[in-house]
Amino acid sequence: MSDYDDTGTSNNLELSDDKLLINIQNIQLANGLPQYSKLNSMDFSVEMETGTAKHMYISKLSLR
């Protein structure tokens, strides 16, 4: 019997909508972008070139 578990992990977001909005607004402000006044959905698309460490960007949204 192996200790290996290949069932995977689903995407889990453990931030409130308010905290996520604040994090996104801070990133928008830091990059000179217009700020969202509210979240219209929880559908996000992170479009970057290959090798640009998308996981680091997503982590930045979560940790701010």
Beta strands in the chain (DSSP E): none
- Mapped onto helix, strand or coil, the DSSP state of residue 3 is coil
pLDDT of amino acid 37: 94
Q: Check if the beta carbon of residue 22 is closer than 8 Å to that of residue 36.
A: no
| Overall pTM surpassing 0.95 (yes/no) | no
d(C-alpha 37, C-alpha 8), whole Å = 35
Place of tokens 């970057």: 48
pLDDT of amino acid 25: 93
d(C-alpha 50, C-alpha 60), whole Å = 18
pLDDT block averages, 10 residues each, the chain of length 64? 63 82 91 91 72 62 58
Residue-range domain boundaries for the chain: 14-34+54-64
